[in-house]
Amino acid sequence: MPWAGIGKVDRKYDGTNLRVGIVHARWNSEVIEALVNGALDKLKELGVKEHNIIIESVPGSFELPTGVRMLANKVDVVIAIGVLIKGSTMHFEYISEAVSHELMKVQRFMRKPLIFGLLTCLTDEQAQARAGLTSDGHNHGSDWGAAAVEMAVKVEEHPTLW
């Protein structure tokens, strides 16, 4: 789907001086690992230095908002990565909605950009495709890396934003 994804970027963004936090859940670890690597590759491609990247893990997606707060003071932008896959009970609906709302609140609380890297998939195959693990898939982690650099630079240019 060529129209999906973050689209044509409006200008070049340079991550050379940025500190980036990645907090990821450990549930569905194969997909998580691919997403985190996709984000890391893109961050480095955009100039972010390895020593300026902090990676923290939490057990599951429900813990992501707390994990983000733990990194908030140490970095300029945080990427929160989790993979929720619908099962036969209602956990998926409750966790995905609660975590999405809480991540938005945490962003306002920390006054720093937060990148939403939570996949909410109906099947394992959907999750794998969005981590670039299928032949026709695309790694969304890469988009989140690009979004992190773009938003950190943009917010820096608007010091009175928050």
Where do contacts with ligand RBF occur on this chain (CB under 6 A)? Answer: 25, 27-28, 59-63, 82-85, 87, 89, 91, 95
> Would you say 91 or 101 has its CB closer to ligand RBF?
91
91 is known as an active-site residue: yes
**What stretch of H or E contains 116?**
strand 114-121
| In contact, 121 and 84? CB cutoff 8 Å | yes
Q: Give the pairing of strands 53-58 and 20-25.
A: parallel
Least distance between ligand RBF and beta carbon 148 (Å): 20
Least distance between ligand RBF and beta carbon 156 (Å): 31
Q: Is 74 exposed, middle or buried (0-12, 13-18, 19+ CB in 10 A)?
A: exposed
Q: Which residue is nearest to ligand RBF (CB)?
A: 60
> Would you say 46 or 103 has its CB closer to ligand RBF?
103
> Would you say 75 or 119 has its CB closer to ligand RBF?
119
| In contact, 115 and 148? CB cutoff 8 Å | yes
Catalytic residues: 91
